[in-house]
Amino acid sequence: MADPSEADLAQATVAVATLLEGMRLSAHLYAVEPREGQWAVIVECATGSGWQRVELRAGPELLAAIGGDAAARAALHAQWRAHLDDCRYD
């Protein structure tokens, strides 16, 4: 990924919001940053005993997922859910 523009960052942020909402986390905060040719997605979520912070990574599949690529969306959901397993879900 070349240096992302502000528009790329805005699209990635919308993509992350959509994906996390689809995962139905009970309570969460997130940030998206370009890092090392990928997107770093920092998620803080409520757990049974407090909060946890997890840093996830995504490449071009992040924007593909929001663009309607069902396979990319399913892959990101599965990958992220494995890292967010301790989070509370609705």
* C-alpha gyration radius of the chain: 13
Say yes or no to pLDDT of 5 above 90.
no
Q: At 1, is the pLDDT very low, low, confident or very high (cuts 50, 70, 90)?
A: low
Q: Mean pLDDT over all residues of the chain?
A: 92
- pLDDT digit string (tens) for 14-27? 999 999 999 999 99
For 7, counting Cβ atoms within 10 Å of its Cβ (0-12 exposed, 13-18 middle, 19+ buried), the class is: exposed
